[in-house]
Structure 1
Amino acid sequence: MKFDVSSAALLSRLQAISKVIASKNSLPILDSFLFDLQENKLVITASDAETRLVTSVEVMNVEGAGLFAISSKILLEPLKELPDQPLTFDINDENLEIFIHFQNGKYNFIGQKGDTYPQQKPLNENAITLNLDAQMLLSGISRSLFATADDELRPVMNGVYFDIHTDDLTFVASDGHKLVRLRNLSVQSPERASFILPKKPANLLKGLLSKDSEQVKIQFDENNAYVYCANFEMVCRLIEGRYPNYNSVIPQENPFKVMIDRLSFYNALKRVSVFSNPASSLVKLELRENEMLVSAQDIDFSTSAEEHIPCQFDGTELSIGFKATYLIEILNNISSNEVVLELADPSRAGLIIPSENEENEDVLMLLMPMMLND
């Protein structure tokens, strides 16, 4: 087999899919990229047995066709240092000895047989298809991923839950302390369905989708999902199990409502939280008429801080404690200028909602409070 390819085009494709390769693999062949030469197209696959990324690159002056695998380290490290230029791959079909010729030199190594690379199971007949806008999918994953758990006992919490209704798609993520529910009303589906996308493929999609502004097609059954983007195809195993009823934990009656500038609140929390106890990261919010007092202290080191922030609030005074790191993460994933805090009492979950949602969106974030010592 023989072909020419642009080093920059090849490197950009390899780097994008290499993130799926695990540092330790159960099968040695998974340390490699699988190449499939088909006429003027080189199809490249990377996988970690659970998730698989496929892309392709245009090639020229092709002779022959076939499958071969090359160690990801052997290929990626030298290519990163090469300026953009044509590369000529010359592969011996008998012993898979590979020469890569470039402007001022060549590389020589032995490839591996591609037919031992694990194949992907096809979806079953009752698979469901969903067409989404790439930016909408990216936005939903990006703003919910931070709330997923790392819980070995409850694996269903370790991914983003896609709850698909006939007139909307809801992204949900929760770790038991914080919860994100992001409903998008622009998605229509012919039927009710749902799946849980694990954290690793969600993170990979986040990296791939940022370059895509087109439509994304998702096909899934109860075990696997295929995601088709403009230049990539991802196949991943889904998390099996029932996702908890997330709507039942969202408090409905919240008499205390506070409207506050998101950036002022965010910056004050970042400053004040430096003085909190590092183990708990507890900050105390005291609500008074049109003012919020944000305070933190670390008794062990005799440090404390407090800041006053103006806000819109005319209820009775209330004090509630939250973990600062979680609250900062939540505010960082809301885009509106002002946020509304909806609270009931110091022991019940607080809701953080943007004062203005983006078009076709309904965002709600929930945070469990922490006990105050006083």
Structure 2
Amino acid sequence: MKFVVSASVLLRHLTDVSKIMSAKVNMSMLNYAALTVRDQMLTLRYTDTMLTIVTRFPLEAIEEEGEVCVPLRLLMESVKETPNVPLHFDIDAEQKTAKVIFDDGLRQGNWSFTVERIEEYYELPELDEGRATQVEMTTDIAEEGLDKTLFCAASSNANTNQINVSTVHIEFTPEGVWFAATDLFRVGRYENTKVRQETRSSVTLPSKAAQVISALLPSTAEALQISFDDRIVLFSTPSIQVYSLLSDNRFPEVEQFFKQSISHEVVVNTRLLLDSVRQLAPFSTPSTMNARYAFSNSMIELEAYSETYEASAKQVIACEYSGGAFTIMLSIPLLSESLSKMSSQEVKLQFDEYGRFVLIRPAQPEAEEVDYAIYVSAMLQ
């Protein structure tokens, strides 16, 4: 194999596929990525056995095609410290040797390393074409849906009674697509009616897969195809593909959280409330991190007390509310993180009669086709 590639372009793609590489790997081939040169394109593929990332880009010049396995971390660190110049690769797959030469006019350099044969690498996951579902959308919708909900997912391995909450659920319906995630204390739900599917279908992504996909998808509107069967999901754009194995556990029913009876509704400036909540954090008990919120005519009184430090803090902020007085206890981290996901200038806080939860919505819809809400459970007072 002989080819020439830009150092900066190669580094960007090496960095993309390395997002799923662990600091320590327990199988030798997990140190390697598959590198293929064919049809004027270079393709990189890396897997951690649960996730697989494939990225491709055009090359500056090709003398000889082929495919091998290259040491991913070694190659990435080497390219990172190299000037942004063309890199000349000369790889002998049979002898398992590789040499890279560069010359930026001020200095010349080269390095050599060992490669492995492509036959020793993991096979690319394959969807069951006869059973697979395919959905077309744009990357900006998928990226926003994941970003607006992923933070609500539980930490890894949080499974209860065959229900997996360390996931992001995506539901495709005739009315639109919606994303949801929960840690059983809060639920984030994002719906976009631009994407409609005649037949209802769904896929539940493991949290790690959702994080990687969200990080790799561009926020600009590019073509995206999502394909999935009961074992594998594939997110595919013209330049990158991400495969993920799917969990056998089911996602909990969350729709009912957003259809409950509302007794109180408050409208408040998002930044004002968020700053006030964050300022209470140092004065709350570290083990609970809760604060008390008292609502009355056009006013919210926020109060936190730390038994550990015998310290307290109180703030009063203006709001739009004209109902009867009521009080609720909410987690400072859960509320502040939820508010930080709201891009509208004002938020609408909706409460039930018994103060068991708060529903947080943008006071003004972020877009005509978007419905976004976060359910946060109240804490015991």
Give the TM-score normalised by the residue count of structure 1: 0.96
Instruction: Give the corresponding residue for 1:122.
Output: 126
Conservation of the 8 A alpha-carbon contact between 1:347 and 1:371:
no
Deviation at 1:62, TM superposition (A): 2.3
Instruction: Give the corresponding residue for 1:144.
Output: 149
What secondary structure, in the 3-state scheme, does the structure 1 residue paired with 2:5 have? strand
Deviation at 1:193, TM superposition (A): 0.3
Deviation at 1:346, TM superposition (A): 4.9
| Mapping 1:308-347, distance limit 5 Å | 308-347=316-355
Conservation of the 8 A alpha-carbon contact between 1:319 and 1:346:
no
Conservation of the 8 A alpha-carbon contact between 2:358 and 2:375:
yes
Instruction: Give the corresponding residue for 1:292.
Output: 300
| CA–CA separation in structure 1 for the residues paired with 2:187 and 2:177 | 16
| CA–CA separation in structure 1 for the residues paired with 2:255 and 2:220 | 32
| CA–CA separation in structure 2 for the residues paired with 1:93 and 1:313 | 72
Instruction: Give the corresponding residue for 1:56.
Output: 56
For structure 1, which segment, 301-310 or 23-32, has the greater mean C-alpha deviation from structure 2 after superposition? 23-32
CA deviation digits over 1:290-318, x for unaligned, max 9? 10001101022111001101011111111
| Mapping 1:13-92, distance limit 5 Å | 13-92=13-92
| CA–CA separation in structure 1 for the residues paired with 2:112 and 2:178 | 51
Q: Structure 1 residues 270, 346: CA separation in 2 closer, same or farther (over 3 Å shift)? A: farther
Deviation at 1:212, TM superposition (A): 4.7
| CA–CA separation in structure 1 for the residues paired with 2:113 and 2:219 | 33
Instruction: Give the corresponding residue for 1:135.
Output: 140
What code does the residue aligned with 1:223 have? Answer: R
Q: Within the alignment, does 1:93 sit opposite 2:93 as a pair?
A: yes
Conservation of the 8 A alpha-carbon contact between 1:212 and 1:230:
no
CA deviation digits over 1:97-120, x for unaligned, max 9? 111011111101111112111112
What secondary structure, in the 3-state scheme, does the structure 2 residue paired with 1:11 have? helix
Deviation at 1:211, TM superposition (A): 5.8
Q: How many residues align?
A: 372
Conservation of the 8 A alpha-carbon contact between 1:156 and 1:241:
yes
Deviation at 1:38, TM superposition (A): 1.1
What code does the residue aligned with 1:303 have? Answer: A
| CA–CA separation in structure 2 for the residues paired with 1:152 and 1:146 | 14
Conservation of the 8 A alpha-carbon contact between 2:269 and 2:319:
yes
Q: Within the alignment, does 1:111 sit opposite 2:115 as a pair?
A: yes
Q: What stretches of structure 1 of length at least 5 have no aligned partner?
A: none
Q: Structure 1 residues 31, 346: CA separation in 2 closer, same or farther (over 3 Å shift)? A: farther
Conservation of the 8 A alpha-carbon contact between 1:148 and 1:173:
yes
What secondary structure, in the 3-state scheme, does the structure 2 residue paired with 1:313 have? coil
What secondary structure, in the 3-state scheme, does the structure 2 residue paired with 1:19 have? helix
Conservation of the 8 A alpha-carbon contact between 1:168 and 1:186:
yes
Deviation at 1:243, TM superposition (A): 1.7
| CA–CA separation in structure 1 for the residues paired with 2:179 and 2:171 | 6
Task: State the identity %.
Answer: 24
Conservation of the 8 A alpha-carbon contact between 1:281 and 1:323:
yes
Conservation of the 8 A alpha-carbon contact between 1:321 and 1:346:
no
CA deviation digits over 1:265-288, x for unaligned, max 9? 001101112211111110100011
Give the TM-score normalised by the residue count of structure 2: 0.94
What code does the residue aligned with 2:256 have? Answer: S
| CA–CA separation in structure 2 for the residues paired with 1:60 and 1:366 | 51
| CA–CA separation in structure 1 for the residues paired with 2:4 and 2:133 | 39
Deviation at 1:251, TM superposition (A): 5.2
Deviation at 1:347, TM superposition (A): 4.7
Instruction: Give the corresponding residue for 1:281.
Output: 289
What's the RMSD between the two structures over aligned residues? 1.5
Deviation at 1:26, TM superposition (A): 4.5
Conservation of the 8 A alpha-carbon contact between 1:67 and 1:115:
no
CA deviation digits over 1:125-175, x for unaligned, max 9? 121111111111111000100000124333621111001111211101100
Q: What stretches of structure 2 of length at least 5 have no aligned partner?
A: none
| CA–CA separation in structure 2 for the residues paired with 1:251 and 1:167 | 17
